[in-house]
């Protein structure tokens, strides 16, 4: 078979398996570099990969294409890339159980790894997925280094849950629904949630500030969260939400923590 035919046939055969032969070839290059490094570590695949990656970034920034971002420097492209995806990476790491300081380090390491990589950007979703993989690997490495276990043992399920959250829009739809549902919560519930999740205030402090018992705060949080989840999942049309959690679409929960009208 003529080699020139290989890329399309490879694509054809793999449905959405491989997005492009170039990715394969470059991955192979990286592999070969790894198994038979012809030059010292300082110039190994990371450097080559990074060069390609930045070239790609430059391309996507419009450099060389006469676009408006033509004069955008590589550094600016990097910053733009990071800003585009940093929230997704950070929240994903938090979701996986990374703590505050870890998150800051890991996010940076993730992007640096990404910049060094041979990853071929296809679209935002695939980039996010790749970044998640890198972030997860870095986090697992951290856990291994510390001799501890990640909170989530089933990483596949965790990944699935996160993909569901992010969907195609990076979680925007979920968060929009959540905000709408928040507005339907009673004021005291909103206040408690803002303190708890917005400002990371300990329950005891919340209780003291609001003149409530800690158990009462906990109860509000639990109930509000349940209502929010029902509301969000209903809005997003997640089928098992209505079935599993008792909330029929359109009917709304009957509890007093959340009002359907607001959600």
Q: What are phi and psi of 151, to 5 degrees?
A: -55, -40
Judged by CB under 8 A, the chain residues 57 through 96 that form the site for another protein are 75, 78-80, 82-83, 86-87, 90-91, 94-95
Judged by CB under 8 A, the chain residues 102 through 141 that form the site for another protein are 104, 107-119, 130, 133-138, 140-141
Which tokens belong to 139?
Answer: 């986090």
**61 or 113, CB closer to another protein?**
113
**Considering the complex, what minimum distance in angstroms separates the CB of residue 217 from another protein?**
15
Q: Site for another protein (CB under 8 A): which residue of 36, 68, 211, 250?
A: 36
**12 or 66, CB closer to another protein?**
12
Any contact of residue 3 with another protein (CB under 8 A)? no
**67 or 172, CB closer to another protein?**
172
Q: Site for another protein (CB under 8 A): which residue of 62, 150, 216, 259?
A: 150
**213 or 243, CB closer to another protein?**
243
**Considering the complex, what minimum distance in angstroms separates the CB of residue 54 from another protein?**
9
Q: How far apart are CA 6 and CA 8, in angstroms?
A: 6
**62 or 150, CB closer to another protein?**
150
**180 or 212, CB closer to another protein?**
180
| Widest distance between CA atoms in the chain | 77
Judged by CB under 8 A, the chain residues 155 through 214 that form the site for another protein are 155-162, 164-165, 171, 174-175, 178-179, 182, 193-194, 197-200
Q: How far apart are CA 16 and CA 14, in angstroms?
A: 6
Overall residue count recorded for the chain in this entry? 263
């Amino acid at each position: 078979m003529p080699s020139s035919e290989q890329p399309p046939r490879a694509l054809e055969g793999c449905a959405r398996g491989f997005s492009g032969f170039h990715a394969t070839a470059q991955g192979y290059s990286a592999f070969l570099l790894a198994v038979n490094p012809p030059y010292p570590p300082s110039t190994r695949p990371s450097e080559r990969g990074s060069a390609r990656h930045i070239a790609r970034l430059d391309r996507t920034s419009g450099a060389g294409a006469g676009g408006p971002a033509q004069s955008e420097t590589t550094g600016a492209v990097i910053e733009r890339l990071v800003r585009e995806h940093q929230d997704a990476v950070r929240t994903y790491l938090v979701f996986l159980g990374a703590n505050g300081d870890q998150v800051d380090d890991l996010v940076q390491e993730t992007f640096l790894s990404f910049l060094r990589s041979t990853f071929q950007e296809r679209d935002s979703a695939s980039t996010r997925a790749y970044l998640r993989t890198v972030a997860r690997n870095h986090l697992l490495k951290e856990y291994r280094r510390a001799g501890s276990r990640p909170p989530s043992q089933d990483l596949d399920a965790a990944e699935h849950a996160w993909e569901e959250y992010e969907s195609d829009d990076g979680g925007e739809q979920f968060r929009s629904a959540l905000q709408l549902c928040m507005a339907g919560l009673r004021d005291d519930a909103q206040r408690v949630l803002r303190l708890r999740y917005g400002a990371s205030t300990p329950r005891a402090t919340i209780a003291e500030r609001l003149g409530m018992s800690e158990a009462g705060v906990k109860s509000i949080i639990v109930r509000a969260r349940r209502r929010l989840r029902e509301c969000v999942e209903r809005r997003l049309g997640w089928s098992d939400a209505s079935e599993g959690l008792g909330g029929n679409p359109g009917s709304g929960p009957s509890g007093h923590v959340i009002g359907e009208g607001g959600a």
